[in-house]
Chain A
Amino acid sequence: MTHPAHFCQVSVRVQAETFDAVAEAQRLTEGRTDLGAVVTFTGLCRDEGGTLAALEIEHYPGMAEAEILRTVEEARGRWPLQGALVIHRFGKIKPGEPIVLVVTTSIHRTEAFEAAAFLMDYLKTRAPFWKKQHLIDQSAGDWVAAKDQDEAAAERWKA
């Protein structure tokens, strides 16, 4: 189902710098009295049981932004969103630091929840980013392999 065009605040950023999830969510909601829901998802770099020193995220400049925007447009076609923001970082990221932010706003909660989950599932399998591991023992780790479960998570939205 495609929803009629309505104003939806869309913002996509691909950056090396970290971000403030609270401040970003606030920007989408401040001054608004019509919103019923804001969902904020932050993906973090985990230390993989204390073995990981950092992740190095490579991206395809230009396509990364374009692909995320295409995904946001697809989400807007499926749910009546009032706002959607995606920030994805690249470069070296240490455990505990944020990697990705998805914020969605809507009149009712279901749309914001579902659209945020959809955006994350699609970003993982479509947005041109690749993670390389740097391990604590100084060894150059491997490129992270794509997971079948991520592919399956994206597939569930096709039903």
Chain B
Amino acid sequence: MKALYFAWVREKIGKAEEEIALPAEIKTVGELVAWMSHRGEEYAEAFSTGTVRVAIDRAHVKHDALIGKAGEIAFFPPMTGG
């Protein structure tokens, strides 16, 4: 699936997007975030803040949500628009 990164999540990881292959046992968004944080030092730095928000197919999701057949998952800091 396609992973997108925005703002300081993008800067810490060092890329805006990539294809990721999720292990079958990862079912929830919370499990996904924990898995992401173990992909390398730069991922650990981004995800260890505990503040990363997640959107699946362009809609916000909570950490207890199921990933299901997501095509696009985005990771980003709390929003500061307006």
Chain A residues close to B by CB (< 8 Å): 43, 57-60, 62-63, 66-67, 70, 88, 99-100, 120, 123-132, 143-146, 150
Contacts and interface: CB of A to CB of B under 8 A. Distances in A.
B58 A143 contact: no
A49 B79 CA distance: 23
Contacts of B27: none
A60 B28 CA distance: 22
A63 B55 contact: yes
Contacts of B81: 57, 59, 88, 100, 123-124, 127-131
Interface string B41-82: 000000000000001001110000000000000101111111
Interface of B: 4, 6-8, 55, 58-60, 74, 76-82
A43 B80 contact: no
Nearest to B10: A58
Contact of A146 (B55, B74, B78): B78
B58 A66 contact: yes
Contacts of A145: 78, 80
Contacts of B80: 124, 129-131, 143-146
Given A58-B7, A124-B80, A143-B8, 12 more contacts: A60-B6, A60-B74, A67-B59, A88-B82, A99-B82, A120-B82, A123-B81, A128-B55, A129-B80, A129-B82, A130-B79, A130-B81
A144 B81 CA distance: 10
18 contacts: A60-B4, A60-B55, A60-B58, A60-B74, A62-B58, A63-B58, A66-B58, A120-B82, A126-B60, A128-B55, A128-B74, A129-B80, A129-B81, A130-B7, A130-B81, A132-B7, A143-B8, A143-B80
Contact of A127 (B6, B8, B59, B79): B79
Contacts of A57: 81
A102 to B, nearest CB: 9
